[in-house]
Structure 1
Amino acid sequence: MASTTEIELLSLDTIRTNGGRAEFVGPQRPRFHLLALVTAGSALHTIDFVNYAIGPGTVFWVRPGQVQQWGRIHDFEATVALFTPSSLDALTQQVLYGSAHSRQAVWSLGGADLETITAGMRHLVLEYGSTSASSLEIRAAILRHTLTAILLKLTDMGGQANTSTLGHSDVFERFHDAVEREFATVRSVSEYAERIGYSEKTVLRATRSAAGMTAKQYIDQRVVLEAKRLLSFGTDTVTQVASSLGFDDSANFTKFFATRAGLSPLAFRRQIRAR
């Protein structure tokens, strides 16, 4: 990661060459953002245990803390932007992370939308490789603002909120944010409702409308996702994973995980690492 700009532009071919074949075999959990525009070929790319078919015109965005698996990385080409969270200003982060569309992982673009994002990525590449006499501060600012424009445009392309859910969007987003902060220690819907200042009934209704599941299922789903991330990447034992997620013992965690994921934590770890 370039220390001056906190933004780095690379071709996928360069990433493959620098990393070596072994780098892309198992799951990865980067601490930085990875934004890729696929320019040729096709493959499957896995983000947080969901497989996405990618091809020319596909954009995928892996956020810090998410787990990705490259699959057949030699079967496609892409332009890739790597950037740290701090390369985005506070207002941009608030806008980007403040809607359900900001959690979208993959876009299949065509027409004017693809032209817009392609032009933005091309501008990033040209500015990143520029040898002009501009100061480092000016070039860094241009990179940040261009990247910001691309990310905001992608988020806007995510679609418009259904008008039937607008009345609940603020409630759900507050609930979502609270779950993100406290899922490892808080499991009670009523406690979340109290913390965000709404009735439990309102939170239940908003979550059902926005996410298509109960509020308790939403909490449990977030815990399972984090468990999968920890089990797929790193060396923590099942007992250590259980403890980090607020479980008193590994037996309770194993039962919780198996009921919702369909297999035991150890079986999941073996399965995901065998891919």
Structure 2
Amino acid sequence: MQRPDFHVLALITEGSGAHEADFQPYQLHKGSVVWIRPGVVHRWSDVEHLNGPLILFQPYFLPDPGLETLDVNSPACWRLPSQALPLAVLAAEHLAREHHAAVQSPRLASSALLSHLLAALVLRVRSGAFTPSPPAGIGSGQLDIFHAYRTAIEEHFTHWHRVADYAQALGYDVRTLTRATRTAAGTGAKAFLDQRILLEAKRLLAYTDLPVGSCAHRLGFRDTGNFTTFFRRQTGLAPTSWTATRHPGR
């Protein structure tokens, strides 16, 4: 199990295997793309039969910061259409050649060039992916509200557990956030927030050896009991029981 603080982008050109990202299993085949963002807990399985380029890059290396948050809530793995795969391979090979040249001849090194070539690869592999259209009837205003709410959650979810806190900070009322979130994400604002807190709880329990009380503290719960009640309500299991299902020998 790994939790990198950098991006991992893989393009599968042959073979088959398996991967798990944030507790969601994926089967990998020729044409599969894997994009693990910083903070995601993941692990590879049966990778000895997989081939293809693997690119590691630091946050904020891409020339446009928006590319790093592109489809941030989309699955970590997807499949390219057959006609898009050769183009993605060409983009990856160009990036690899420039990187190799920069290593061999530092005078040729250009971070800006590598950054833009990586951006081209990201755009190419994303252009072939299935991206659902916005729900019918949602306007740009509601999408903007939802995106602002989602961004605020990423910044504050470890200490703000009430939708009212976000509503006050963003200048909306709770009903507005709930309506925009339900329209854009198919769930209410409180459920969306709870799912983000739960994901981080699972990451801490699965990846670290922190006791439940320390996990509760990191996530802004007053005490272990409140955290356990929250976790059990969301999963049907106590944190220790859920961890035992992930690590039977622990």
For residue 127 of structure 1, report the CA deviation from its aligned partner. Answer: 1.9
Residue pair 2:31, 2:82 contacting (<8 A) in 1 also: no
Q: Residue 227 of structure 2: which of 253, 256, 273 is its match?
A: 253
1:113-262 residue pairs with structure 2 within 5 A? 113-130=84-101, 133=105, 135-138=107-110, 140-158=111-129, 159=131, 161-162=133-134, 164-167=137-140, 168-262=142-236
Q: Secondary structure at the match of 1:169?
A: helix
For residue 238 of structure 1, report the CA deviation from its aligned partner. Answer: 0.7
More helix as a share of residues: 1
Q: Secondary structure at the match of 1:53?
A: strand
Residue pair 1:190, 1:200 contacting (<8 A) in 2 also: yes
TM-score between the two structures when normalised by the length of structure 2: 0.89
For residue 207 of structure 1, report the CA deviation from its aligned partner. Answer: 0.5
For residue 94 of structure 1, report the CA deviation from its aligned partner. Answer: 2.8
For residue 73 of structure 1, report the CA deviation from its aligned partner. Answer: 2.2
Aligned to 1:19: none
Structure-2 change in CA distance of 1:96 and 1:87 (3 Å) = closer
Look up the equivalent residue of 1:93 and give its one-letter code: P
In the alignment, the residues of structure 1 paired with residue 224 and residue 139 of structure 2 have an alpha-carbon distance, to the nearest angstrom, of: 40
Look up the equivalent residue of 2:41 and give its one-letter code: V
Is the aligned partner of 1:55 residue 2:26?
A: no
In the alignment, the residues of structure 1 paired with residue 225 and residue 188 of structure 2 have an alpha-carbon distance, to the nearest angstrom, of: 25
Aligned to 2:4: 30
For residue 144 of structure 1, report the CA deviation from its aligned partner. Answer: 1.3
Residue pair 1:102, 1:155 contacting (<8 A) in 2 also: no
For residue 77 of structure 1, report the CA deviation from its aligned partner. Answer: 2.3
Structure-2 change in CA distance of 1:157 and 1:198 (3 Å) = farther
Over residues 26-78 of structure 1, what are the superposed CA-to-partner deviations in whole Å (9 max), with x where a residue is unaligned? x1101110000012221221111111111100001001111001122223223
For residue 114 of structure 1, report the CA deviation from its aligned partner. Answer: 1.8
Residue pair 1:38, 1:78 contacting (<8 A) in 2 also: yes
1:31-110 residue pairs with structure 2 within 5 A? 31-89=5-63, 92-97=64-69, 101-104=71-74, 105-110=76-81
In the alignment, the residues of structure 2 paired with residue 176 and residue 78 of structure 1 have an alpha-carbon distance, to the nearest angstrom, of: 33
For residue 95 of structure 1, report the CA deviation from its aligned partner. Answer: 4.4
Percent identical: 35
**Count of equivalent residues:** 244
In the alignment, the residues of structure 1 paired with residue 176 and residue 126 of structure 2 have an alpha-carbon distance, to the nearest angstrom, of: 27
For residue 260 of structure 1, report the CA deviation from its aligned partner. Answer: 0.5
In the alignment, the residues of structure 1 paired with residue 6 and residue 105 of structure 2 have an alpha-carbon distance, to the nearest angstrom, of: 29
What stretches of structure 1 of length at least 5 have no aligned partner?
1-26
For residue 215 of structure 1, report the CA deviation from its aligned partner. Answer: 0.6
The structure, 1 or 2, with the larger RCO (C-alpha pairs under 8 Å, 6+ apart) is 1
Over residues 185-232 of structure 1, what are the superposed CA-to-partner deviations in whole Å (9 max), with x where a residue is unaligned? 111112211211222222111100111111100110000000011111
Over residues 60-107 of structure 1, what are the superposed CA-to-partner deviations in whole Å (9 max), with x where a residue is unaligned? 100111100112222322310011113223xx113442x5x2432222
Look up the equivalent residue of 2:193 and give its one-letter code: I
Look up the equivalent residue of 1:103 and give its one-letter code: N
